[in-house]
Structure 1
Amino acid sequence: MTNPLSKLNSILENLLFVWLGLSFILLIGEKAISLPPILQVIGRGHPLLLHFPITLILIGVIFLLFPSLRNNETFRDIGAKSLLWGSNLAGITVIAGLILAREDYEGDSLLWHQWAGMVTFWGASFIYFFQKRNLKQIAIPAVALGICLTLTGHWGANITHGENYLLAPLNPPAEQVPLAEAEVFDHVIQPILQAKCESCHREGKTKGELRMDNLSELKKGGKSGPFVVSGDLTQSLLTQRINLPLEEEEHMPPKNKAQLTEEEFQILTTWVESGANFEGKLVDLPQESELFQLASLRFSSEDSYDFEPASGSTIEDLNTYFRKVSPIYPESPALEVSYFGISAFEPSSLKDLQKIKEQLVNLRLDKMPLSEVNLDFLNDFPNLRELSLNFTELTAGQLESFPLLDQLEGLSLSGNSLTPDAINRIAEMENLQNLFLWNTGLNDSQKQQLSEQLPNTKIDFGFEGKDIILPLNSPKITQDRVLFSDSLRIELSHPIQSTTIRFTLDGTEPDSISSPVYSEPIYVKTSGKIRAKAFAPEWIGSEEITSVFMKSGLKPQNVELLTQPSPNYKAQLAETLFDQIKGKNNHTSGEWLGYSDKAFEAEFSLEENQHPTNIGISLLYHEGAYIFPPVKVEIMGWRNGKAETLISDQPTQSEKIREIRSELLTYKLPDGNFEKIRVKLYPIQSLPKWHPGAGAKGWVFIDEILLN
């Protein structure tokens, strides 16, 4: 009678030849063979299968390598059986790996891993049969098999985790780059891509035909489109995918991988929005830009400034309604000072800056009347790097005896008339890196002369397209926060100082004639939205820019969510709505309630002394991530136990994909004592035809309800 174990061994030995044949066919016929989907499923089991043969082959190698073990019949038998089972599983693993290799894998690591895996499988099969005939000569092949198995795992780890994954802990940590030397792409953007994206987009594994480990390949983009399009968040593959809801299959990084942090998300978004440049230093960005503000925190500024910071009380004392003093970026000891409000300017106030003479590196006096000011006061600031004196009515005498500030790197004198002697004086400032001379009355020969005298200075004489009318950039809105308790200060600015900024607070679109002109900071005390545009002669008015501001209101007695949000966007559930914490402009930040399959519905009870007259609903809009305005808003109130409809509104729907933004829907409530109020927001159930996801369900995202 045949021994069952002997019969099983015979089957396994014969199967080895089956796996050998199949693996050989798949290896040489990779391009010619078309495989059904079911085999792709088997291929994706490769990472799961590979651990079993590794363990069994290693047991076999150890039991056959050492004479004290292989000379023991029991141990020798265990080693042989481990090799037999391990070789069979290795064969299946190799076949699954060859199938998996057809899916977005390529490169040298893949090639080495494939052949090392084949050699490991063939070698294990060879040693199994060889040990039956010549057990004494088995040591050298066993050592070779162990080495081959290790190399197979090393190249496999390179494919899965990146180049040199195994030895990476032995490499010395990268040296901290000082802020002055940090490159925007190399030291800010690329480390994020390496940490969160490269594992699926590099040599050996190029999902979507996109590689991120090589700059030239990265710029080519993938099969779904360009990686980045300068300034375009909707056409850039990077921002498209990171903004998709986590449930979407194309959301990146995949939901089973480590997600971008809030800081990383904002850095990538602002990088694309600001032009997605692959070259240039971080310090060359405008210091008020969001990208600089975010990224500069990652680097040491010790090499740039060696002076002590000014005290917080000193900075607080210097801040007035006509002067702003602040660090050039968070945590920096270096300060910048800006003046505004021509009517409020007092030349004597410049003496106050003596308190921060060591820390002052950036001084902006644009549009201030300086014709009577002795500019020698500028010599008191030994670390002054940037000076802006645009449209300050400087006289010929002031410019012809302008202080020679050796440490100055940037100077702006636009809107002041320059005489020949003034030109010669400025030409003595050889350390200048940037010089702005728009509308200074220079002729072509004078411009040529100054350019020759300052060959190492980048001089901007302004735009002179006489017959071309171009649109202005939108102004910039600066506010410390969105949600405030008492009053909020809002500032508007534009890089071209000759522009006029007009704004509205009543919801109407600003125009160039009747809308208020911005001249000094605006203080608001109620919720609303500011809308602003820039205008200038011989220019087309800018696109509108908006920003919402929200006054924190009454907190009701208790709040209940009548419908539950998506598990991935549940924030702090009902507590979110009245916690007076404004959500960031990122739907994955964990501060938003997200609804798609059903309407948002919440109910809150009011105390007897609470009589709100207005209600505000704080929402997030981002069409690229399927987040739209609600198609309908219903607000109901209860008086004396009886319900009535207070508001029924259909907010204006989006007509195109725009940037991510906070919005505020405000409604006036009728007079009366309400016992409770219910708010219901209906998400769009079918995205419009113009949207890339036409027909799919949209989302409503809410973070606050404001009762005032």
Structure 2
Amino acid sequence: MFKNFLSKAFLENLVFVWLGFGLIFTLAENQIVLPEWLQVMGRLHPMILHFPIVLLLMAVVLSFIPKNENTSPIKELLDYVWLFGLNFAGIAVLAGLILSQEDYSGDTLDLHKWSGWAVFLISTGLYFISNLSRSLYKIGTLTLTLVILLAGHWGASLTHGEDFLLAPILKETQSQPSLADAEVFRDVVQPILQSKCLSCHKEGKTKGDLRLDHLDGIRKGGKTGPFILAGNTEKSLLTQRIHLPLEEKEHMPPKEKTQLTDEEIEILTEWVKSGGSLDQKLVELPSDEPLFELVSQRFEPSTSYDFEFADQSVISSLNNHYRRVEPLYPESPALIVSYFGISAFEPSSLEDLRIIQDQMIQLNLDKMPLKGLDLGFLQNFKNLSTLRLNFTDLEESQILQIGKIQSLTSLSLAGVKLSEGSIKALQGLENLQNLYLWQSGINQDQQNLLQSSLPQVNIDFGFDDTAVIYPLNPPQIKQDKTLFEDSLEITLSHPIKNVEVYYPLDGTMPDSLAGSLYQKPIWVKSSGKILAKAYSKGWISSPANSAVFMKSGSSPLGYRLLTSPSPNYKGSGATTLFDRVKGKNNHTSGEWLGYTSGPASIEIDLDESKGFESIGISLLYHESAYIFPPERVEIDIFENGVWKKLVSEKPIQSTQILEIRSELLTYSLKENSPQKIRIKLYPIKSLPGWHPGAGAPGWVFVDEILLN
């Protein structure tokens, strides 16, 4: 038996088995749903592929030995090397096709897939068409060798990143940017993502539909939510995953990968807290912000200061409850001085600064009462480059004194009214680079004159909003719960007095003519949706705020799922739809059924004697996670022994990405006495062109069926 198993005929026939299976998986890869046990075979691909590489290259080497008789030992060995190489190549191709369905995509995947196929087909041809001329045979084997190398290169790029093979010799030495030029994302955050996250989230391999190899992918996020939400570490996918325990399945990076250091976790967390900017410079962060303190020491200072350090005891003596003196960055001799609290300000305290006049490069006096003070002493601060005097009510004589401080490169005078003489004084600041003059009261001609006389200066005149009418904020809607049994109280409020709030309860858009004016709490006893808008004279009406409310209703006699939800979003099966537990606004909470490859189909048995009047379907919408309204809703009822169509409609589709929210679709059952109801919710087949994931399939998420 063992001899038959290893016979040439058996091994030759086995090659065509792998060929057949491979063609099936290639031609129908979008239609095949793989069971979990078969995915194990796919994950063996990286291990299996080494066998055909070695065996086929060995066959190539043996092929160059002078041709012997067919019965010779070398010929026999060559045939078996070819056959084992072919079979392992077929298995590797099949395993690779299975593995490719796990979050792999892109040009690199296509190159690796088709070059792998080419290896299998070329080597098969070389074995079965052995009567080729010696020269053609050698060309074929050399071609096979080249294709094996290319397939291996593209496979390594998929696993380890682009140009993995040549990276050591192509790597260029990058100079470290200065502190002034360093950017938070480019020079601090991105290197961490590249070293610890990019292998699973890049072109060719996009686990969770998340790509981190370009900015659009970072802005878009993944299928489970946004990668970063500015300032929100709880809802940002990045900070959620890196803080999970290592044994958690969703912990990132996966436990088999190199983990983030404590410092890297802290940097990424503080980056999200600070706003998650993709283009902010490091020096734009406040010097006392944790992120700045964490990473500023990595960069060379933007300016080399040749003056001596101030004595630490002197700096300590200057610090008090209304004044802070601190270095520009750790271990820098340059000092920044800031004043706080108008009531605590002592004009004489400015004289205290003379002791650090050589080290002070920035003085912040925003909103301090400086009117009438002699500021001429600042001319002795020869390294003072930044002066902030916003809303300080300075007089012309004081502006003339400031105009003599030639060391200034940045001057802020927002909220300070400037006279003709003040404007002329500013024109003498030859080293100025940035000038901020918001609400300074100068007209367009004066602005043009100042800009023409200081062409090298970036002047920010701010925005004149005196003629602008602003929109109101949406009113606030408060309700204790979404799902209620008997009745529910809803209250509306707005922070601005004399604002009128209008609302309807049928989900239509309110206005000041047709809507109901809110005057007291609203009590509702049936399911619906409230939209509320605020109106006031002299303001633009607010955007609408909305909330759904759902009456739990009666329980059915029985229910069953006719189609299975996604294994990742299967809740508690059909029970999820009738447990009277409203799902959280988070599709991963375990309280939702999610469908993407086919419709959600539910059949319900009813007690006819209860006389149901409506049926409600509670849904989740979250466009950034590909969760859209159903493309189509179908409801059939079984009545008098016959199934008939009750509803077939296309709900209004999303036209932009909005906040995650619950929605309710309600349909009337009046004039019907069904014994059974069958509901089908079809997910959108292809996301619209405006969506970052255009063309990808969408999802439908449902958590409750309400019978009233």
Q: How far 1:310 sits from its partner (Å)?
A: 1.3
Residues 71, 130 of structure 1: alpha-carbon distance in 2 compared, 3 angstrom cutoff: same
For residues 87-106 of structure 1, the aligned pairs below 5 Å read: 87-106=86-105
Aligned to 2:380: 380
- 2:434 matched to 1:421? no
Pair 458,438 (structure 1): closer, same or farther in 2 beyond 3 Å: closer
Q: 1:632-659: CA deviations, max 9, x gaps?
A: xxxxxxxxxxxxxxxxxxxxxxxxxxxx
Report the alpha carbon displacement of residue 95 of structure 1 after superposing the two structures with TM: 0.4
Deviations 1:580-634 (A, max 9, x none): xxxxxxxxxxxxxxxxxxxxxxxxxxxxxxxxxxxxxxxxxxx9x99xxxxxxxx
Residue 88 of structure 1 and its aligned partner are, at CA, apart by 0.8
State the Cα distance separating 1:12 from its structure 2 match: 1.5
Cα distance in 1, alignment partners of residues 381 and 79 from structure 2: 83
> Residue type of the partner of 1:300?
E
Judging changes above 3 Å, is the alpha-carbon distance between structure 1 residues 433 and 234 closer, same or farther for their aligned structure 2 residues? farther
DSSP-derived class of the 1:181 partner: coil
Q: CA, structure 1 residues 415+18, in 2 after alignment: closer, same or farther (shift >3 Å)? A: closer
With over 3 angstroms needed to count, the CA separation of the structure-2 counterparts of 1:239 and 1:40, relative to structure 1, is same
Judging changes above 3 Å, is the alpha-carbon distance between structure 1 residues 175 and 441 closer, same or farther for their aligned structure 2 residues? closer
Task: Return 457-466 or 143-152, whichever deviates more.
Answer: 457-466
Q: Counterpart of 1:457?
A: 459
Kept after mapping to 2: 8 A contact 1:226/1:236: yes
Opposite residue 279 of structure 1, the aligned amino acid is D
Note the alpha carbon deviations across 1:141-180, whole angstroms, 9 max, x for none: 3222221111111001111111111111112233322232
Aligned to 1:521: none
C-alpha contact (below 8 Å) 1:198/1:213 kept by paired residues: yes
Say whether residues 1:26 and 2:25 are aligned partners: yes
**Would the aligned equivalents of 2:68 and 2:75 in 1 still touch at CA under 8 Å?**
yes
Identity of aligned residues (%): 47
Task: Please say if residues 408 and 431 of structure 2, whose CA atoms lie closer than 8 Å, have aligned partners that are also in contact.
Answer: yes
Seen in structure 2, the aligned counterparts of structure 1 residues 69 and 453 have a Cα distance that, compared at 3 Å, is farther
Matches within 5 A, 1:467-546: none
- SS, match of residue 142 in structure 2: helix
Q: Report the equivalent of 1:119.
A: 118
Q: Which runs of 5+ in 1 are unaligned?
A: 472-622, 627-689, 691-708
Q: Within 1, Cα distance between the matches of 2:200 and 2:109?
A: 13
Distance 1:74 1:358 in 2: 90
Cα distance in 1 for partners of 2:72, 2:384 equals 85
Distance between the aligned counterparts of 2:9 and 2:68, measured in 1?
24
Distance 1:72 1:431 in 2: 92
Q: Secondary structure at the match of 2:144?
A: helix
Q: What displacement does 1:200 show?
A: 1.2
Matches for 1:101-250 after TM superposition, within 5 Å: 101-130=100-129, 138-171=137-170, 172-250=172-250
Question: For residues 377-434 of structure 1, what are the alpha-carbon distances to aligned partners after superposition, in whole Å with 9 as ceiling and x for unaligned?
Answer: 3233343222123566654422233243344233234565644422432344365454
Say if 1:69 and 1:58 are closer, same or farther in 2 by CA, change over 3 A: farther
Q: Which amino acid aligns with 2:12?
A: E
Going from structure 1 to structure 2, the CA distance change for 1:327 and 1:78 (only over 3 Å counts) comes to farther
Alpha-carbon shift at residue 90 of structure 1 (Å): 1.2
Q: Structure 2: how far apart are the matches of 1:109 and 1:397? A: 68
Inter-CA distance 451–236: structure 2 relative to 1 (3 Å threshold)? farther
Please give the secondary structure, in 1, of the residue aligned with 2:89. Answer: helix
Q: Distance in 1 between matches of 2:359 and 2:107?
A: 54
The amino acid that maps onto 1:143 is L
Q: How does 1:5-404 map to 2 (within 5 A)?
A: 7-65=6-64, 67=66, 77-130=76-129, 138-171=137-170, 172-301=172-301, 303-307=302-306, 310=309, 313=312, 316=315, 319-321=318-320, 323-339=323-339, 353=353, 356-366=356-366, 374-390=374-390, 394-404=394-404
Distance 1:27 1:166, change over 3 A: same
Structure 2 SS opposite 1:260: coil
Structure 2 counterpart SS, 1:151: helix
The one-letter amino acid paired with 2:238 is L
**Deviation of 1:323 (Å):** 4.8
Q: TM-score, normalised by structure 1?
A: 0.58
Contact 1:378–1:403 under 8 Å retained in 2: no
Q: Given that residues 115 and 147 in structure 2 are in contact (C-alpha distance below 8 angstroms), is that contact kept between their aligned partners in structure 1?
A: yes
Letter in 2 for 1:155: W
Cα distance between partner residues in 1 of 2:256 and 2:30:
31
Amino acid at match of 1:378: L
**Within 1, Cα distance between the matches of 2:466 and 2:433?**
22
Whole-Å Cα distance in 2 between the matches of residues 174 and 72 of structure 1? Answer: 61
**Which deviates more, 231-240 or 431-440?**
431-440
| Aligned residue in 1 for 2:576 | none
Cα root mean square deviation, aligned: 4.2
Shift of 1:203: 1.1
Deviation of 1:315 (Å): 5.7
Alignment of 1:617-696 (within 5 A): none
- CA offsets per residue over residues 239-285 of structure 1, 9 Å max, x none? 33223333332222222222223333233333333333333433334
> How much does 1:348 deviate?
6.9
Provide the rounded CA distance (Å) in 2 between the counterparts of 1:308 and 1:186. 32
Is the contact made by 1:53 and 1:90 (CA closer than 8 Å) also made in structure 2? yes
- Partner deviation per Cα, 1:197-224 (whole Å, 9 max, x = no partner): 2211111111112222122233222222
Structure-1 separation of matches of 2:119 and 2:36: 27
Q: Aligned partners of 2:92, 2:311: CA distance in 1, in Å?
A: 65
Change (3 A) 1:177 1:5: farther
> What amino acid does structure 2 have at the position aligned with 1:457?
I
How far apart are residue 104 of structure 1 and its match?
1.8
In 1, Cα distance between the equivalents of 2:314 and 2:94? 69
**Could you say which residue in structure 2 is the equivalent of 1:651?**
none
State TM-score, norm by structure 2: 0.58
- What is the aligned partner in structure 1 of residue 687 from structure 2? none
* Aligned residues of 1:401 and 1:422 also touching (Cα < 8 A): no
Structure-2 change in CA distance of 1:173 and 1:441 (3 Å): closer
Is the alpha carbon distance of 1:280 and 1:127 closer, same or farther for their aligned partners in structure 2, counting shifts above 3 Å? same
Cα separation, 2, equivalents of 1:407 and 1:270: 34
Q: Deviations over 1:308-357 (max 9, x none)?
A: 55166476566443654322122434321234577887767656655654
SS of 2:241's partner is helix
